[in-house]
Amino acid sequence: MAKVRGTIVVDIEKCKGCEICVGACPTSVISMSTEVNAKGYQYAYLNDPDGCTGCTNCAIVCPDGVITVYRAKVK
């Protein structure tokens, strides 16, 4: 069976920094930035690109829908 790798893209200007995605990530690869967006919020980012499985938990729980998940099969 092929292994699945994932990655996420966060719309940092729309992220309000609620941190719900951080708790929803089973592999703990999402963190909050120390920088802020134009509205003054810390935003979520992928801190370990190799650890993301593409499970979509973060995108499902995001109240603002600012996370897009991409998945690819790896041989």
User: Would you say domain 3-74 falls under CATH 3.30.70.20?
Assistant: yes
Token couple for 69: 């998940």
Q: Give the whole-number percent of the chain exceeding pLDDT 90.
A: 88
Cβ atoms within 10 A of the Cβ of 23, count?
12
pTM greater than the 0.85 cutoff: yes
**How many whole angstroms separate alpha carbon 47 and alpha carbon 18?**
17
Query: Residue 17 pLDDT > 90, yes or no?
Result: yes
Question: What are the residue boundaries of the structural domains of the chain, listed by start?
Answer: 3-74
What is the tens place of the pLDDT at every residue in 34-57?
A: 999 999 999 999 999 999 999 999
Going 45 to 11 to 57 to 64, the CA torsion angle's sign is positive
3-state helix, strand, coil in the chain (%, to 5): 15, 35, 50
